[in-house]
A and B are shown apart, each in its own frame.
Chain A
């Protein structure tokens, strides 16, 4: 009883957020920018004559009986959804009522991503590219959130957000170029596959270290707040990365410095082989938000409309009120962690099959579409055929393309070429001229010096 009320108090902020999301249609009218009252302002003025606590560190009442707050993980923060597993709208007032064109676009992006994943995964198996990571099962989190943002919003990702980039219009040729590290790669062939980036599409280049992007997203959002151009930042990360120290830093900084930022956690059940039961003991990631003074919500990540609604509202308020939001999208990683992983070593095929067959974001959206007569079996067949064809064509083009000029090994370390690097570049050039036959020069663009 007491435990329940404590839990309610602790999650009070979260429930409030859920109610607020439900009432978002009314609050859409409030487009003007409001500034959030900080905790400092909510502190009562110091008055030692009162019997109330005067501690600067907490705004709370005294209590005279010893009681530990019981973290409740059995019934944790509820999961917001719009569609059931059969794609039927549960609460009609939550249906974003997107146009047929928009919904078809969602579907096509999700399935095109899926097709590209299959082909590139296979290409790694055949030794054509060195490495790949699929996005199976998480397409809904990518497309739902990407669609809710403005194209000028800056995206910081982890590595399993290719659908966000695809939704924004990154061409297949450039996905392939990065994976093949060929001369068309915007990244100039420097990183492993799936480390995409695009300045034009406001997608910051992926880096391998986990969670480093969280405090960076807070800094970028702060800079944007000062610019005052109605831009937000979204920061994606997995539930595993959320354990890193940088995650704590990013969450705390964004809250204290009042940044217009959406933290989007893809909780897909595994960090390589580590299940969530070994990653955290609390109620997932959403429950941490209130600890930072942050509005938080948990959503069904396989429900593209739920993801869309939550992200849209979070984005609107983050910019209007200059505060961060935390969205924990529950989903499931259907594929292996990467081509270097065989997940049958740590989970059952039955478990994976359940998600693939019974609760897949692509299937659920397709049911929604077919129920409205927007998508037929013929549409599905011809789209699958066409998307496979375009992916294969891009694949073949990328395969044929040469790798970048080896001179590019030495540039962009600094903005300018330094004397030291120039000497090293010269040294490699001379060395390769002498030992040409031992270097795979025919795979590369002409080694110009």
Chain B
């Protein structure tokens, strides 16, 4: 209980407030008034979401998706994270249904439905359990269009899975497997940081003509609250978003870690007088090399952070590309603050995660290099 409280204080307040791009560092502590995202029309009526769930509500009925259905384990009653609550009553049991307990079946079924022209939204209960479907994702979904010479494809498939640490998830309810899938040409991998991003990015994934994996940071299901516009909108894939501009260090991450990074940026400014540029990568594959490289050319220093283990983690890919493209601009070696090369531990989570102190220390080292 105490551990959880400490964890939450370290993770800080999750009442998110989105600053408009370009206004500089904006503390997220105690923000009472939530501002709408710059992407949506502020004159549109917005409604506060039900207490914090990435609830998938394709409202109004999305005719542009044609035939669609959403399925997976326990999807019918609303889902273990309540993401599909109310959908079965609204859209019928033919469109919102349970499948047997079998991830390879869920994804395979989704691929086949997409091949037949339906918009298939497959839910994997935890990203930790996606591995039985690895063959279907890597050998089938990703390669369907290429191997058939574009005769067939499963572009209308989207796979969603809760992702990342949650305070007590341990080995099998905390994983961030994006690196495994980043190595797979043909799919897209997307991770939102907040409710507004979640809706826009998810709708983009669904509309995208390529199979997409959408990882939803599970700790944010309850913790993140935002004013999300009711009408559909999309946020483009493969475009990183600069959340705050800075001149000394580029901080790159995705998902939950964005909120840590924003705090780190504030700490760096306050304690070190260092100006940080915070970038949310959003799409892991294909990733926006241009935005990151442009930023590093400007700042000369790069810190990448993720919960997943450091060896072979996605930070390694970013680091490698950036040193190729921006070698002469670098003032210090690229820094990665990530999980250790261990399975995700239970009781040791507060020590395992790449918290703001570790990131802060890394920035200090880069500045003083």
Complex partner residue of A187 from B149, B185, B238, B286, CB under 8 angstroms: B149
**Structural contact, B100 and A207, CB atoms closer than 8 A:** no
Contacts of B109 in A (CB 8 A): 215-216, 218-219, 222, 249, 253, 257
Complex partner residue of A253 from B100, B114, B148, CB under 8 angstroms: B100
B153 interface residue, CB < 8 Å from A?
yes
Q: How large is the interface on A (under 10, 10 to 19, 20 to 34, 35 or more residues)?
A: 35 or more
Contacts of A246 in B (CB 8 A): 104-105, 108, 135-136
A224 interface residue, CB < 8 Å from B?
yes
- Pick out which of these stretches binds chain B: A55-63, A141-149, A296-304, A407-415: A407-415
B143 interface residue, CB < 8 Å from A?
yes
- Pick out which of these stretches binds chain A: B7-15, B116-124, B296-304: B116-124
Mask of B147-172 contacts with A, CB within 8 angstroms, 1/0: 11111110100000000000000000
**Structural contact, A215 and B145, CB atoms closer than 8 A:** no
- Pick out which of these stretches binds chain B: A188-196, A311-319, A373-381: A188-196
Contact residues of A between 127 and 162, Cβ < 8 Å to B: 154, 156
* Chain B residue with Cβ nearest A205: B148
Complex partner residue of A415 from B113, B135, B210, CB under 8 angstroms: B210
**Structural contact, B67 and A227, CB atoms closer than 8 A:** yes
B139 interface residue, CB < 8 Å from A?
yes
* Chain B residue with Cβ nearest A154: B116
Contacts of B102 in A (CB 8 A): 248-249, 252-253
Contact residues of A between 184 and 216, Cβ < 8 Å to B: 185-191, 195, 197-199, 204-205, 207, 209, 212, 214-216
Mask of B88-113 contacts with A, CB within 8 angstroms, 1/0: 00000010010110101101111111
**Structural contact, A250 and B108, CB atoms closer than 8 A:** yes
Most buried by B among A219, A413, A419: A219
* Minimum Cβ distance to chain B for residue A37 (Å): 15
A282 interface residue, CB < 8 Å from B?
no
**Structural contact, B105 and A216, CB atoms closer than 8 A:** no
B290 interface residue, CB < 8 Å from A?
yes
Most buried by A among B117, B150, B289: B150
A48 interface residue, CB < 8 Å from B?
no
**Structural contact, A216 and B148, CB atoms closer than 8 A:** no
Rounded to whole angstroms, the CA-CA distance of A416 and B186 in the bound complex is 11
A207-B147, A419-B290 are contacts. A413–B104 as well, Cβ < 8 Å?
Answer: no
**Structural contact, A413 and B186, CB atoms closer than 8 A:** yes
**Structural contact, A205 and B146, CB atoms closer than 8 A:** no
B209 interface residue, CB < 8 Å from A?
yes
Mask of A242-279 contacts with B, CB within 8 angstroms, 1/0: 00011011101100110000000000000000000000
* Minimum Cβ distance to chain A for residue B58 (Å): 16
* Chain B residue with Cβ nearest A188: B149
A217-B112, A219-B120, A415-B155 are contacts. A226–B99 as well, Cβ < 8 Å?
Answer: no
Contacts of B238 in A (CB 8 A): 418
B115 interface residue, CB < 8 Å from A?
yes
Rounded to whole angstroms, the CA-CA distance of A195 and B143 in the bound complex is 13
A249-B104, A249-B105, A257-B99 are contacts. A219–B148 as well, Cβ < 8 Å?
Answer: no
Contacts of A419 in B (CB 8 A): 286, 289-290
A329 interface residue, CB < 8 Å from B?
no
Rounded to whole angstroms, the CA-CA distance of A333 and B136 in the bound complex is 28
**Structural contact, A215 and B290, CB atoms closer than 8 A:** no
Rounded to whole angstroms, the CA-CA distance of A245 and B135 in the bound complex is 11
Complex partner residue of B145 from A198, A220, A412, A418, CB under 8 angstroms: A412
B128 interface residue, CB < 8 Å from A?
no
Rounded to whole angstroms, the CA-CA distance of A249 and B120 in the bound complex is 17
* Minimum Cβ distance to chain B for residue A417 (Å): 11
* Minimum Cβ distance to chain A for residue B133 (Å): 10
**Structural contact, A219 and B151, CB atoms closer than 8 A:** no
**Structural contact, B286 and A420, CB atoms closer than 8 A:** yes
* Minimum Cβ distance to chain B for residue A241 (Å): 13
A215-B105, A257-B99 are contacts. A223–B116 as well, Cβ < 8 Å?
Answer: yes
Contacts of B113 in A (CB 8 A): 219-220, 222-223
**Structural contact, B67 and A226, CB atoms closer than 8 A:** yes
**Structural contact, A205 and B152, CB atoms closer than 8 A:** yes
**Structural contact, B290 and A219, CB atoms closer than 8 A:** no
**Structural contact, A212 and B139, CB atoms closer than 8 A:** yes
* Minimum Cβ distance to chain B for residue A403 (Å): 13
* Minimum Cβ distance to chain A for residue B155 (Å): 6
* Minimum Cβ distance to chain B for residue A197 (Å): 5
Rounded to whole angstroms, the CA-CA distance of A187 and B97 in the bound complex is 35
B132 interface residue, CB < 8 Å from A?
yes
Mask of A350-394 contacts with B, CB within 8 angstroms, 1/0: 000000000000000000000000000000000000000000000
A187-B151, A415-B153 are contacts. A223–B67 as well, Cβ < 8 Å?
Answer: yes
Rounded to whole angstroms, the CA-CA distance of A224 and B113 in the bound complex is 8
Most buried by B among A186, A215, A224, A412: A215
Complex partner residue of B210 from A204, A227, A253, A414, CB under 8 angstroms: A414
- List the 6 closest A-B pairs by CB distance, nearest first: A215-B108, A219-B112, A249-B105, A216-B112, A205-B148, A219-B113
Given A209-B140, A219-B114; 6 other pairs, CB 8 A cutoff? A204-B152, A219-B111, A249-B100, A256-B99, A412-B150, A419-B289
